[in-house]
Amino acid sequence: MKLTMKMENVLIADEIEQECIDALKAEGINAVVKTKQTHDQLLELLPQFDAVIVRSATKITKELIVAGSKGKLKIVGRAGTGVDNIDVVAATEAGVVVMNTPNGNSQSAAELTCALVLSLARNITQADASMKSGKWARKDFMGEEIGGKVLAIIGLGRIGQMVASRMQAFGMEVIGFDPLVTEEAAKALDIQLLGLDQIYAKADYITVHVPLNKHTQNLINKEVLLKCKKGVRIINVARGGIINEVELVESIRNNHVKGAAFDVFEEEPPKFRDLVENGQVIAIPHLGASTKEAQVRVAVEIAKNIVAVNKTFELLGAINAKDIAKAC
């Protein structure tokens, strides 16, 4: 699908790196920064702009999309991967393209995942907290080597593959599940492709790298946890809601799950304190993309996607373009 409308005015509704603004202005696009706008203010603003760029703070609701589409709005750009804060269905119905930048955060998210695997294996955060409380309790934090352990990666896209290659360097055996990846492609990456039930029974560590949708919500729940090895550790740097938080805590308390690391939560900030405050859980405040490099990368990428509409009429990073085309 191609868009013939020229992008002239872009609203930047969340804080973003200057490189994004500079990239737009260099191509003759007027970039207006108005952050922390109320819903009513956005109702007035969006119809005046060809595109709006957001991160995760601003919620682009159905009401905003409908209002914007009655004016000039043709693109909602997300500087980042997740589009939970954008009503994509409403955008599609209104003919508004939703773009994201899935590649910009990949390395940062993969590196954080690897750090969390290592932290779980060696009890790093717990030992640090113990030291800061004045203790010297070496015997309390006996860890384990990850070499020779089985790492299951659910979702073998860009991030999943990056995690695989890095953890293989530590000597981990990597198995994975992804319905879009062939056995041949997985084999080329030295990943054993298995069904989910096979993965659960074999994995020492499980990390999820899938989007949150009706197929993945509560993907790892009480029933699944019972299929897992006793002592399994679980990592989520993808999206809150993929792992059932209540049932995971229950499994930890029952000494079935050894530990978990969460960067994302069903509610953010998380209200389920039993997860956050559990001593066997590492909980951090959605830091997957929080590196200087990733922030600049996604900011520049979303600007380039919008610029490309003017230059080539191509919709780079558009996640609903095909659905809009079908409806036309």
Residues recognised as catalytic? 239, 268, 286
Burial class of 60 by CB neighbour count within 10 A (0 to 12, 13 to 18, 19+): buried
Annotate 36-103 with DSSP letters as a single string. Answer: S--HHHHHHHGGG-SEEEE-SSS-B-HHHHHHHHTTT--EEEESSS--TTB-HHHHHHHT-EEE--TT
- The residues with which 174 forms a beta bridge, in sequence order, are 151
Structure tokens at 122: 């060696």
Structure tokens at 23: 């990239």
305 CA to centre of own chain: 19
Is the bond into 269 cis (omega within 30 degrees of 0)? Answer: yes
Number of Cβ atoms within 10 Å of the Cβ of 22: 13
Number of Cβ atoms within 10 Å of the Cβ of 118: 14
Q: Are 146 and 117 in contact (CB under 8 A)?
A: yes
Strand order from edge to edge, sheet including 9-12 = 30-33, 9-12, 51-54, 75-78, 97-99
What lies within 8 Å, CB to CB, of 324 at 6+ separation is 1, 92, 95, 97
3-state SS class at 324: helix
Separation between Cα atoms, residue 319 and residue 316, nearest integer Å: 9
Separation between Cα atoms, residue 241 and residue 210, nearest integer Å: 11
